Amino acid sequence: MSQSAPRSLHDLGYAGIERELAADGVKRHHAKALHRSLYREGNLDLSRPDFLPPLRQWIERRVGGEKGFTLDAPEVVDETRSSDGLTRKYLLRLQDGQTIETVLMGYDNRLTACISSQAGCAMGCVFCATGQMGFVRHLRPGEIVAQVLHVQRVIRADMPDRRLRNLVFMGMGEPLHNYNSVMHALDIISDCRGVGIGPAFISVSTVGVVPAILRMAEEGLPYNLAVSLHGSSEGERSALIPVSKKWPLADLVEACRSYGATTGRRIFFGWTLIAGKNDSPETAHRLVDLLKGIDSHINLIPLNPTAGFDGTTAQTAAALEFQRIIKEAGIPCTFRQRRGIDVAAGCGQLKANRLHKTA
Ligand code: SF4
């Protein structure tokens, strides 16, 4: 993190709050009230009458303006809702003016937050609106946590009898390119004293950052891993995902094999079906061979159209045949629902649409 980065209370988590209070001579047990207020209740106003005087005085001294700590309270600059009202997409403005996307997805009787890990993305996947924009910067842990808190506030206000269950990183950015911030944010998010989303309900997705997949296994991190494959030969894959030249398909599959063997966990493979590019029966058969011996689940994803890519989604017959081949080989294979399309829910599309409108 750069020297000039703002210090946010949302970056800290429980241990960090305890440490900061102790450094200023405030007893550690006051951390509980502040942590609960920030992360469980999602409060952005810390002038709480229920705080004891030492904590109130610390907040007066240390939070706001030039006093040291800020809060991550991203501003909603755009919001769209799907026609069925179940999916809501937010364009959020951060303290430095950068905008990111956060989505609340409500289907299959579950509420899922889909969040961003970076402003922009360096991976350059050709079919992705964020990839077409390029990389701006990594998000801090607090900026990642704040997206989940935003979604929880929306749920509390509009659907008070429901709760956020799942978390995925399918907004803007490649989470494993921002490893330390993402994993610190997930420590905070999975803390049952605060946000409280269990690790089993959290998925970290990657386009194939091989060293980081190996690191996740080595560190024994308890989250689900989702790998975007999109091609079963090197040529097929690197035409869609340029970063495949840096981490070739063979290395990626080996890393997944090692991850599976070390963690004993199933890996979810994402596959965006693009007509004529990666939807043939030969590709499906090759995919089956590639994943032999890895406990896998394949999610087939329809292509979300973007202005910068002229591909089209696979025809239904081709998609069903692709799925049949995989399932017949004994690999679970499902279609991801296309809920977001009428709210521009492919990552980067809301921001791209807004840039287009204001250009
Ligand atoms: S698909 Fe994901 S990894 Fe690829 S460019 Fe888009 S945001 Fe980045």
Report the C-alpha gap between 278 and 223 in whole angstroms.
28
The reply to whether 41 belongs to the active site is no
CB 51 within 8 A of CB 63: no
The reply to whether 114 belongs to the active site is no
φ, ψ at 144 (rounded to 5°): -75, -45
Measured from the Cα of 132, ligand 1's closest atom is 5
Catalytic residue among 20, 101, 174, 236: 101
**What is the pLDDT tens value at each position of the chain, 359 positions in all?**
444 455 899 999 999 999 999 999 999 889 999 999 999 999 999 998 889 999 999 999 999 877 689 999 999 999 999 887 778 999 999 999 999 999 999 877 789 999 999 999 999 999 998 988 899 999 999 999 999 999 999 999 998 999 999 999 999 999 999 999 999 999 999 999 999 999 999 999 999 999 999 999 999 999 999 999 999 999 999 999 999 999 999 999 999 999 999 999 999 999 999 999 999 999 999 999 999 999 999 999 989 888 889 899 999 999 999 999 999 999 999 998 655 445 555 666 767 666 655 54
Report the C-alpha gap between 306 and 195 in whole angstroms.
34
Instruction: Say which residues have a Cβ less than 8 Å from residue 322's Cβ, sequence separation at least 6.
Output: 273, 279, 280, 281, 283, 284, 300, 314
Place of tokens 């809501």: 88
Report the C-alpha gap between 115 and 70 in whole angstroms.
21
Strands 135-138 and 118-120: antiparallel
CB 143 within 8 A of CB 178: no
Instruction: Report if pTM > 0.85.
Output: yes
- pLDDT for res 307: 85
SS3 90: strand
Pocket test for ligand 1, best of 123, 126, 136, 304 (most atoms within 8 A of CB): 123
